[in-house]
Chains A and B, each alone.
Chain A
Amino acid sequence: MKPIKTIRSAQKPAKMSRAERIETKIGHILATEEELLPSSGFVASVMERVQEEAAAPPPIPFPWKRAIPGIVMVAGVFGWGGFELIHLGISKPGLPTLSSLTLILQHLPAAAVVYTESAVWISLALGASLLSCLLSRRLAGRGGLL
């Protein structure tokens, strides 16, 4: 058991309020808690885990050198896409705007609009798949398509 240190309020018991006396009791109980002894095999089990940790190969670092060109390319594509959208959004005489593109779509037959939209989404999905495939191959250290 640990020795109980003198608590400020315990020095002047006559002047203590009821609340202070209860807190002092709480302090005494909490301060006299016995320590827990580790089991006999504790050190051995810790050292076993340390040996395992030491024997394990170091974690593979993220291949930033290989990943950076891909990240830059993806950022470039998104940046270019954003720029084009903003560019189309600004109405300039002689240039097609977003509203004018919507108007063109409105004049096309309904079936053609559905096909066009589908084609755009499919080509976007194919492009994204190809890009992610190329990126993952590059990260894995294999170049080319095959």
Chain B
Amino acid sequence: MNAPISAEADLADVERVLAGDIAAFEGIVRRWQKPLVSMAWRYCRDRGRAEEMAQEAFIRAWRGLAHWRHESSFSTWLFALAANVYRSELKRFPTETLPLDSAPEPSGPASQHHALQEKSWHEALHRAVLALPMRYREPVILFYFHEMNVATAAATMELPEGTLKARLSRARALLRHRFPHLEDEHAAAEFFALKAGKEAAR
């Protein structure tokens, strides 16, 4: 079960943990398990590995709780720590990805299989994101993970906002060149999805 995220609850649990109450750390894990596992999933797209990486991030957080200086919010500190863990884990054991140029662009739309077509576009795009060089991949992952908040994504990466924006722009350009027909195909898929929805409603 996920507990609602609250800065006061985090602060109270951190203080209890630092005072020697190990069980208080469970509250932190319950509150942050979903964001940290989801974030890890975006880095590797492997469920088992995402949980392992998130677990490692929690252990590092446990070891480093005393080093949280309260200069930033607990969430900023935790996300930055998790991003460091995920980055170094992926450096040690990289995910198996195709080179960006080899990431296949799905073929033309098939009206009977619009849902599958849509799904294949999504999967192809996510595979292409993983095939980006790390310096461009991570800004994309964190920008969309943080609901397109540049400031939070930059704080998580411990980078200036301008640098993050520049890397995002470059990443978008790389993806755009990889999927030059995305607009047409995606629009067609949306059209067929809409048509199917209308037919079902009759």
Interface residues of A (CB under 8 A from B): 2, 5, 7, 18-19, 21-23, 25-27, 29-31, 33, 35-39, 42-43, 45-47, 49-51, 53-54
Contact = CB atoms under 8 A, between A and B. Distances in A.
B51 interface: yes
Contacts, number: 90
A57 to B, nearest CB: 15
Interface in B29-84: 29-30, 33-34, 37-38, 41-42, 47, 50-51, 54-55, 58-59, 62-63
B22 A38 contact: no
Interface string B133-158: 00000001000100110000000000
B45 to A, nearest CB: 9
When A and B form their complex, which 8 residue pairs have the shortest distance between CB atoms, in order from nearest? Answer: A36-B41, A35-B38, A38-B37, A30-B144, A38-B33, A22-B183, A46-B58, A21-B183
Nearest to A35: B38
A78 to B, nearest CB: 36
B26 interface: yes
Contact of B30 (A22, A35, A43): A43
Given A30-B140, A38-B33, A38-B51, A47 B41 contact: no
For chain B, the bracket of interface size reads 35 or more
Given A21-B183, A26-B125, A30-B125, A36 B175 contact: no
A142 to B, nearest CB: 33
B37 A26 contact: no
Given A22-B179, A26-B182, 9 more contacts: A29-B186, A30-B126, A31-B144, A33-B42, A42-B33, A46-B59, A47-B25, A53-B62, A54-B22
Grouping DSSP codes into helix (H, G, I), strand (E, B) and loop, the A interface class, with mixed when no group exceeds half, is helix
B62 A36 contact: no
Contacts of B182: 22, 25-26
Given A22-B179, A29-B122, A53-B62, A38 B34 contact: yes
Interface string B185-201: 01000000000000000
Contacts of B129: 30
Interface in B74-108: none
A83 B182 CA distance: 72
Nearest to A19: B176
Contacts of B33: 38, 42-43, 46
